[in-house]
Chain A
Amino acid sequence: MTSRQFNKLATRIGFWLLVAFVAIIAVFPFYYAVITSFKPSSDLFRVELWPSSWSLANYVQVFSQKSFLQAIFNSILVATSVVFIALLLGITASYALGRVRFRGRTTVLLVILGVSMFPQVAVLSGLFEVIRALNLYNNPGGLILSYTIFTLPFTVWVLTTFMRQLPMELEEAAIMDGATPWVTITKVFLPLMWPAMATTGLLAFIAAWNEFLFALTFTLTDSQRTVPVAIALLSGGSAYELPWGPIMAASVIVTVPLVILVIIFQRRIVSGLTAGAVKG
Chain B
Amino acid sequence: MASVTLDKVNKVFGSTHIIKDVDLNIGNGEFVVFVGPSGCGKSTLLRLIAGLESISDGELSIGDSVVNELPPRERGVGMVFQSYALYPHMTVYENMAFGLKLAKMVKETVDDRVMATARILQLEDLLHRKPKELSGGQRQRVAMGRAMAREPRILLFDEPLSNLDASLRVQMRNEIARLHQRLESTMIYVTHDQVEAMTLADKIVVLNAGRVEQVGTPHELYQRPATKFVAGFIGSPTMNFMPARLAGHADLGCRVEVEGIGELTLPQDADRHANGEPLTLGVRPEHLRLVEANGDNAFEIVNVEYLGNEVYVYLEPKAGETLLIHRSEAPSPWRVGQRVALTPDPEHVHLFDPQDRALPATRTRAAA
Using CB atoms and an 8 Å cutoff, list the residues of chain A in contact with chain B.
167, 169-170, 172-179, 183, 187-188, 191-192
Contact = CB atoms under 8 A, between A and B. Distances in A.
B52 A183 contact: no
A175 B52 contact: yes
A176 B87 contact: no
Nearest to A175: B72
A177 B79 CA distance: 9
Given A172-B52, A191-B89, A192-B89, A177 B146 contact: yes
Contact of B87 (A172, A175, A178, A188): A188
Nearest to A191: B89
Contacts of B103: 178
Interface string B80-121: 011101111100000000110011000000000000000000
Contact of B73 (A169, A176, A187, A188): A176
Interface of B: 50, 52, 71-73, 77-79, 81-83, 85-89, 98-99, 102-103, 146-147, 150
Contact of B81 (A169, A183, A188, A192): A169
B88 A176 contact: no
A178 B102 contact: yes
15 contacts: A167-B83, A170-B85, A172-B52, A172-B79, A172-B81, A173-B146, A176-B50, A176-B72, A176-B77, A176-B99, A177-B102, A178-B72, A188-B87, A191-B89, A192-B88
Among A170, A173, A175, the most chain B Cβ lie within 10 Å of the Cβ of: A173
A167 B85 contact: yes
Contacts of B83: 167, 169
Nearest to B94: A187
A179 B85 CA distance: 14
Given A172-B52, A176-B147, A178-B99, 5 more contacts: A170-B87, A173-B79, A178-B73, A178-B103, A187-B98
Contacts of A191: 89
Contacts of B81: 169, 172-173
A202 B77 CA distance: 42
A175 B72 CA distance: 7
A125 to B, nearest CB: 46
Contacts of A173: 79, 81, 85-87, 146
Nearest to B47: A172
Nearest to B102: A178
A192 B89 CA distance: 7
Given A167-B83, A167-B85, A191-B89, A176 B78 contact: yes
Contacts of A175: 52, 71-73
Contacts of A169: 81-83, 85
A203 B83 CA distance: 34
A177 B88 contact: no
Contacts, number: 53
A183 B102 contact: yes
Nearest to A171: B85
Contacts of B71: 175
B52 A177 contact: no
A183 B72 CA distance: 15
Contacts of B147: 176
A177 B89 contact: no
B98 to A, nearest CB: 5
A82 B30 CA distance: 56
Contacts of A183: 102
Contacts of A176: 50, 52, 72-73, 77-79, 99, 147
Nearest to A172: B52
B102 to A, nearest CB: 5
A184 to B, nearest CB: 10
Contacts of B72: 175-176, 178
A175 B78 CA distance: 10
Contacts of B146: 173, 177
A246 to B, nearest CB: 47
B314 to A, nearest CB: 40
A157 B52 CA distance: 27
A177 B85 contact: no
A177 B77 contact: no
Contacts of B73: 175-178
Nearest to B75: A176
B190 to A, nearest CB: 14
A177 B82 contact: no
A178 B52 CA distance: 12
B53 to A, nearest CB: 10
A172 B102 contact: no
Contact of B99 (A167, A177, A192): A177
A173 B102 CA distance: 13
Of A170, A177, A179, chain B has the most CB atoms within 10 Å of the CB of A177
Nearest to A170: B85
A179 B50 contact: no
Q: What 5 A-B pairs are tightest by C-beta distance, nearest first?
A: A178-B73, A177-B99, A169-B85, A173-B85, A191-B89
A185 B102 CA distance: 14
A175 B98 CA distance: 11
B186 to A, nearest CB: 16
Nearest to B82: A169
B113 to A, nearest CB: 13
B302 to A, nearest CB: 43
A142 B146 CA distance: 48
Nearest to A183: B102
